[in-house]
Amino acid sequence: MAVRMAVRGRGRGRGVRRAGKQLHGGWITYTILIIFTLGSLLPLIWTAIAASRTSTRLSETPPPFWFGGNLMDNLGEAWDGANMGLALANTVIVAGAITLGTVLFSTIAGFAFAKLRFRFKTLLLLLVIGTMMVPPQLSVVPLFMAIAELQWTNQLQAVILPGLVSAFGVFFMRQYLVEALPTELIEAARVDGASSLRVVWHVVFPIARPAMAVLAMLTFVFAWNEFFWPIIALTQDNPTVQVALTGLPQGYATDRSVIMAGALLGTLPLLAAFTIFGKQIVGGIMQGAVKG
């Protein structure tokens, strides 16, 4: 089939070029997108509704479908009950550092795995993938022993440094670059006498940009929501948001509306960051990676 042929024949003697235009979506597209969006947002909206009610009201039937008047009270209680100011600052540092490190390390390692030749490449790649398979629940015990040995308990690096081991990121960048980075581009740069570092900076990074943006966003969110390890490594003296939230239950019984308010407090900065930076980060995905 012709189409198939076209696909197979790609990548030889042809500069990669993207036309600037894209297909427009029709009404079916919009309908499906809106349904998806509603499905995605409803549980979050309901979290906000629950956060605006009392714990008692949440237990009643039918459950509340609209906002009540307790939002500010609950948010305030969650803010004071969990050391939220420090927690948010800590989380931005932790997630930011993990994201910067992960994206950088993953991109260069992913590039090496995708396009360069070196010894034991396949074996090392399999090792990387193997790392992803160790269930994180179990790494916690040996990891904590190591952290305790280093006397890092309750310090942010105890969460940041193990977070930099992103086999996922390396694998992700490798899979992206294998297809997206034409080998001729590297060769051409080489012919011009560019060093490997220059190749990375001027060829790999620009082409990897959409994937880097996605990886950055995914890593940031993951680091933000991670709690299984931080809960062991940190305490509420120096918490991340998720650690702080586990300290929320107060009063007589677990107050679910305050818990929901806490969950909201933990998620909102993330969503705010999406909307502010999203335009630049996600927006980067839309623009052509390489301009001829």
Partner 1 sequence: MTELTETAAPSTGEEGAAPAGERRLDKRAARRSRRYQRDVKWSPYAFIAPFFLFFGAFGLFPLLYTGWASLHRVSLNDPNHMEWAGLHNFTRLMDDEFFWNALQNTFTIGIISTVPQLAMALGLAHLLNYRVRGSMFFRVAALTPYATSVAAATLVFAMLYGRDYGMINWALGLVGIDSVDWENGDWTSQIAISTIVIWRWTGYNALIYLAAMQAVPHDLYESAALDGASRWQQFIHVTIPSLRPTILFTVVVSTIGATQLFGEPLLFSGTSGAAGGADHQYQTLGLFLYEKGWFELNLGRASAIAWTMFLILILIGLVNWLISWRLKKSEGA
Partner 2 sequence: MAVRTRTPRTFHRAAASLAALTLAAGLSAGCAADDEEPGSGKGGEGKTTITVGVFGVFGLKEAGLYKEYEKANPNIVIKQNSIERVDQYYPGLLTHLASGSGLSDIQAVEVNNINEVVSQHADKFEDLGKAPGVKKDNFLSWKWDQATADGKTIGLGTDIGPMGICYRKDLFKKAGLPTDREEVGKLWAGDWEKYIDAGADYMKKAPAGTAFVDSGASIYNGASSGYETRYYDESGKVIYKDSEGVQASWNLAMDAIKGKMTAKYKQFTPQWDQGYANGKFATVSCPPWMLGYIKDKAGKKADDQWDVAQAPKPGNWGGSFLTVPSAGKNKKEAAKLAAWLTAPEQQAKLFEKQGSFPSSQAAFELPAVADAKHTYFDDAPIGKIFADAAKSIPTLVLGPKDQPILQQITDIGILQVEQQGKSPDEGWKAAEKKIDDLLEQ
What burial letters (b/e) apply to 215-240, b meaning 16+ CB within 10 Å? bbbbbbbbbbebbebbbbbbeeebbb
Please, which residue, 46 or 73, has the CB nearer to partner 1? 46
Given partner 1, partner 2, none, residue 229, with its beta carbon under 5 to 8 Å by kind, binds none
CB neighbours (10 Å) of residue 83?
A: 18
Instruction: Examine residue 272 and tell whether it contacts partner 2 (CB under 8 A).
Output: no
Cα distance between residue 106 and residue 167, in whole Å: 8
Please, which residue, 22 or 61, has the CB nearer to partner 2? 61
Single-letter amino acid code for the residue at 53 = R
Find the binding residues for partner 1 in span 230-259 (CB under 8 A).
242, 245, 256, 259
Query: For partner 2, which residue of 44, 48, 71, 92 counts as binding (CB under 8 A)?
Result: 92
Query: For partner 2, which residue of 106, 256, 260, 266 counts as binding (CB under 8 A)?
Result: 256
Tokens of 109: 């390692």
**Three-class DSSP category at 247:** coil
Cα distance between residue 111 and residue 140, in whole Å: 30
Host H or E run for residue 39: helix 27-51
Please, which residue, 93 or 289, has the CB nearer to partner 1? 289
Q: Which listed range, 67-75, 77-85, 86-94, 133-141, lies at the site for partner 1 (CB under 8 A)? A: 133-141
Given partner 2, partner 1, none, residue 135, with its beta carbon under 5 to 8 Å by kind, binds partner 1
Find the binding residues for partner 2 in span 5-44 (CB under 8 A).
none
Query: For partner 1, which residue of 88, 156, 186, 233 counts as binding (CB under 8 A)?
Result: 186
Asked if 126 contacts 193 with a C-beta cutoff of 8 angstroms, the reply is no
Number of residues counted as binding partner 2 (CB under 8 A): 67
